[in-house]
Structure 1
């Protein structure tokens, strides 16, 4: 008889129940990103199921992009690369022609009620408290992006009392280190709007000039929404390119 945690839905196909058990280990941080999961043989003993069931469960998580196989080494928890994701839309070339990752400056960190779009994205009530981070992204000495980032206070409480100087340039590894919250996937929506006074001033562009707006909702491995982010960049720096094979 398969050995699952109490409360598992027995109506689901067996491989799906195993898949959910494996996902729970990933979501809980029992298996960390870039680390190998137990072997198929070990998993068959843990859950007392056939190896074919284990393989189908693992295949599902590989297909979902949560695990990856390395020939001769095993199966590993995938750590998504978000560093280049946002900046695939923006020219990130320095004055001497090198491609560089912009730096950041955190302007503020406040605890307050979220606006409706942030509350909806994070699946929290507008009366719940959320952490709002405001920051700028720089390429050399030029501001290329403004960012407004919302986080559920219940999951990121340890960020409330930190000094702003303690926040890293890359937030997702910082979330993992400080709060144990791992970002596994994200959904982005891109639109073009007009710059309001604040955005125009930050980006050193004219008011009502076109800006690219990227809204991102980032999720944990269990699809819990962890971050809502809205970024603005001057349209003149915007460049969309995609290869179609």
Structure 2
């Protein structure tokens, strides 16, 4: 199974790590299903259990796998839903922080946009799925989002209506199209002179714009998203220990 690396001086545990990651990607592994045991992987790849353990620990360090005591090792789904909430917060009625509800307002197939397609690492003329979405708390719009997806990866979305979508998008991407978001890079800006139809702001009000490129297990971009929120609702908090 590791013969394709025979001409390269790559440590055995790195070879095993690569094969496990490929297995997760190609088999569309369910994050609720435990991976084979280290002994099973050792038998499969004809290596020692110690080699497999080192490969698995590397994948855990990279945030791809998670070990659960007494249950096994699982594919890890990062908690992207809490990401933007560390920046934008509404108090709920009990003085806690409310959980937003996602509302899809628009979905359509559009022609490629050179700048967006470049971010998604696809040809400039490749078609896109375009989505407009609101994140709401207690009937108030917290975030307005524009989302672009490569149509070639999300063919099933081309025939969906807004009401067909679930509240959480990333699990829905995986369920409908087999696209697993493993990591993301976010960039934050403060902007003016932009009036958002869902936030109901004036052009004089400052907004926070968060640009996100989400990637799959292989590090390929599979979503580009722009999230907009009122600057007055923005907060930043970090604990430095």
- TMscore range, shorter length: over 0.9
Residue of structure 2 aligned with 1:213, choices 199, 209, 212: 209
Residue of structure 2 aligned with 1:77, choices 72, 75, 96: 75
Which residue of structure 1 lines up, in the alignment, with residue 36 of structure 2?
38
2: CA distance, partners of 1:152 / 1:204: 29
CA contact (8 A) 2:144 2:227 kept: yes
Q: Which runs of 5+ in 1 are unaligned?
A: none
Two-structure CA RMSD over aligned residues (Å): 1.7
Against the structure 1 CA distance between its residues 102 and 52, is the aligned structure 2 distance closer, same or farther, given a 3 Å change threshold?
same
CA shift for structure 1 position 8: 4.6
CA contact (8 A) 1:109 1:134 kept: yes
CA contact (8 A) 2:134 2:141 kept: yes
CA shift digits 1:158-200 (9 cap, x unpaired): 0000122101111111111111111111111111111413x1x
2: CA distance, partners of 1:19 / 1:58: 7
CA shift digits 1:75-114 (9 cap, x unpaired): 2211211121111110132244232211122121111124
2: CA distance, partners of 1:172 / 1:21: 24
1: CA distance, partners of 2:225 / 2:16: 33
- Matched residue SS, 1:202: coil
- Matched residue SS, 2:198: helix
CA contact (8 A) 1:9 1:17 kept: no
1: CA distance, partners of 2:237 / 2:48: 46
Q: Which runs of 5+ in 2 are unaligned?
A: none
Residue of structure 2 aligned with 1:21, choices 16, 19, 24: 19
After TM superposition, the score normalised by the length of structure 1 is 0.91
- Matched residue SS, 1:203: coil
Count of residue pairs the alignment pairs up: 240
Against the structure 1 CA distance between its residues 9 and 115, is the aligned structure 2 distance closer, same or farther, given a 3 Å change threshold?
farther
After TM superposition, the score normalised by the length of structure 2 is 0.93
Which residue of structure 1 lines up, in the alignment, with residue 62 of structure 2?
64
CA contact (8 A) 1:152 1:227 kept: yes
Against the structure 1 CA distance between its residues 73 and 103, is the aligned structure 2 distance closer, same or farther, given a 3 Å change threshold?
closer
Residue of structure 2 aligned with 1:153, choices 130, 148, 151: 151
CA shift for structure 1 position 30: 4.9
Against the structure 1 CA distance between its residues 164 and 9, is the aligned structure 2 distance closer, same or farther, given a 3 Å change threshold?
farther
CA contact (8 A) 1:144 1:233 kept: yes
Residue of structure 2 aligned with 1:228, choices 205, 224, 229: 224
CA shift for structure 1 position 205: 1.9
CA shift digits 1:126-185 (9 cap, x unpaired): 211010101122121221211000101000000000122101111111111111111111
2: CA distance, partners of 1:223 / 1:9: 24
